[in-house]
Amino acid sequence: MNDPSPTTATAAPPATGAPTAEEKKWALFAHLSILLGGLLTSGWGFSIGSFIGPLIIWLIKKDTMPFVADQAKEALNFGITLAIVGFALLLLTILSLGIGALVTIPILMVIGIAALVLVIIAAVKANEGVAYRYPMTIRLVK
């Protein structure tokens, strides 16, 4: 009657290279910090504060958590891209003496909605442990 199989189930450790629960959490925070930057800067966050959160997380975790470093870098590049586009639209509005706002404000609204959707998708994927790549992103930080 000696059964060699264990009587209690134990959780298997994550496979080599698979992100841990803590790495998934920090990667999620890296993506969501883009939205936090938008909230803290009253909507101009997609042009000013969108890359501050991912930058801080990347600088803190880049040497200890590879998955977080990858996702924070991706979020950082997306935030920088949003900042460049936001600055270009602001510059266009100013140079056209405000008349360009008829075009730039609707474009900024579409970009804001698209960024919101993409950040939510990225956060969900990061929470699942899947590396996400934002479309149409300038990857300045390698």
Give the count of beta carbons closer than 10 Å to the beta carbon of residue 134: 20
The number of CA neighbours under 13 Å toward the Cβ of 52 is: 13
Q: What is the pTM of this model?
A: 0.81
For position 43, what pLDDT does the model report? 60
For position 12, what pLDDT does the model report? 39
pLDDT tens for each residue of 20-73? 999 999 999 999 999 888 777 766 545 567 888 899 999 999 999 999 999 999
Contact present, 34 and 118 (Cβ < 8 Å): no
